[in-house]
């Protein structure tokens, strides 16, 4: 099926038969990506009375009970409710996010820079060996795209090995994260959906400040209440994996999220190539 999309004065065509998933498959009870030393995602057969949901154990069908932490067990999408009180009037649950079926998206690849060699900042201060996604790296990668194309920005970091799909992220294995200036630049571009192959846009050991999350959603730093200036419909998707066969460029994305009444949920971003056409 071919779908035509008009974006500003340009017309694009996508072929729905060709798409790429950016989600890391979550193998319950097996090797899986993990963040912050959380428990692994597990699965067990449901058992009620004489019924067992496992055909290998004599059950009539398979019925598994799943246990997972959306933030720490694989690819997930989160909302402003991740850093705000659930009871706050403006706190947006993942089930309330309004997503168009095809989101204009730009895929870029960045090699994180040693923070001490940039002019960027962070709260708390950088450590000696911190590596970051800097403002200058984003400007260089995104400067030639129109703002309307950057509704979503997808960032693949280098090196990009397959072991990202089973990486164990913790404070002793500090991955790259974003600087304050990098997030502010994305806000200037009007980015609504940020997708990264990192476990968090913030430093894992950050004294609980979550500086970049607050900046992205425009929530007062160290506060847990959104304000009238907060950006409620924006999302952050972490722990994606972008295959090396995908080239940097402009795409459309379908961000698939279950209707969980929660601040986050497992997600499956699907990427579609965009061919510019003349009408």
Instruction: Give the pLDDT confidence of 108-160 residue by residue, as tens digits.
Output: 999 999 999 999 999 999 999 999 999 999 999 999 999 999 999 999 999 99
pLDDT at 278 over 90: no
Q: For residue 154, what are the β-bridge partners?
A: 107, 195
pLDDT band at 279 (very low <50, low <70, confident <90, very high): confident
Spell 70-88 as b/e; 16+ CB within 10 A means b: bbbbbbbbbbbbbbbeeeb
Domain definitions of the chain by residue range? 2-25+73-277
Superfamily of domain 2-25+73-277: Putative cyclase (3.50.30.50)
φ/ψ of 251, rounded to 5, equals -140, 175
Q: Is the pTM of this model over 0.95?
A: yes
* Distance between CA atoms of residues 125 and 225, nearest Å: 24
* Distance between CA atoms of residues 43 and 4, nearest Å: 41
């Amino acid at each position: 099926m071919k779908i035509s999309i008009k974006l500003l004065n340009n017309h694009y065509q996508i072929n729905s038969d060709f798409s790429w998933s950016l989600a890391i498959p979550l193998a319950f009870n097996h090797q899986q990506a993990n963040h912050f030393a959380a428990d692994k995602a597990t699965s067990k057969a449901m058992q009620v009375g004489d019924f067992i949901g496992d055909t290998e154990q004599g059950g009539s069908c398979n019925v598994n009970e799943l246990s997972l932490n959306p933030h720490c067990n694989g690819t997930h999408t989160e909302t402003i409710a991740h850093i705000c009180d659930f009871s706050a009037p403006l706190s947006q649950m993942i089930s309330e996010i309004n997503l168009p079926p095809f989101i204009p998206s730009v895929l870029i690849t960045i090699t994180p820079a040693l923070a001490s060699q940039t002019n960027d900042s962070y709260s708390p201060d950088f450590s000696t060996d911190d590596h970051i996604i800097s403002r200058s790296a984003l400007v260089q990668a995104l400067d030639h795209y129109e703002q309307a194309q950057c509704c979503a920005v997808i960032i693949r970091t280098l090196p990009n090995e397959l072991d990202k799909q089973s990486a164990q992220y913790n404070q002793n294995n500090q991955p790259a994260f974003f600087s304050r200036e990098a997030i502010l630049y994305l806000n200037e571009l009007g980015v609504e959906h940020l997708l990264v192959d990192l476990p968090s846009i913030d430093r894992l050991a950050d004294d609980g400040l979550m500086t970049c999350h607050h900046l992205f959603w425009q929530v007062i730093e160290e506060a847990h209440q959104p304000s009238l200036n907060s950006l409620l419909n924006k999302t952050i998707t972490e722990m994606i994996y972008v295959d090396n066969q995908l080239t940097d460029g402009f795409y459309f994305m379908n961000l698939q999220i279950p209707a969980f009444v929660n601040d986050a949920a497992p997600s499956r971003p699907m990427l579609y190539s965009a061919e510019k056409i003349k009408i």
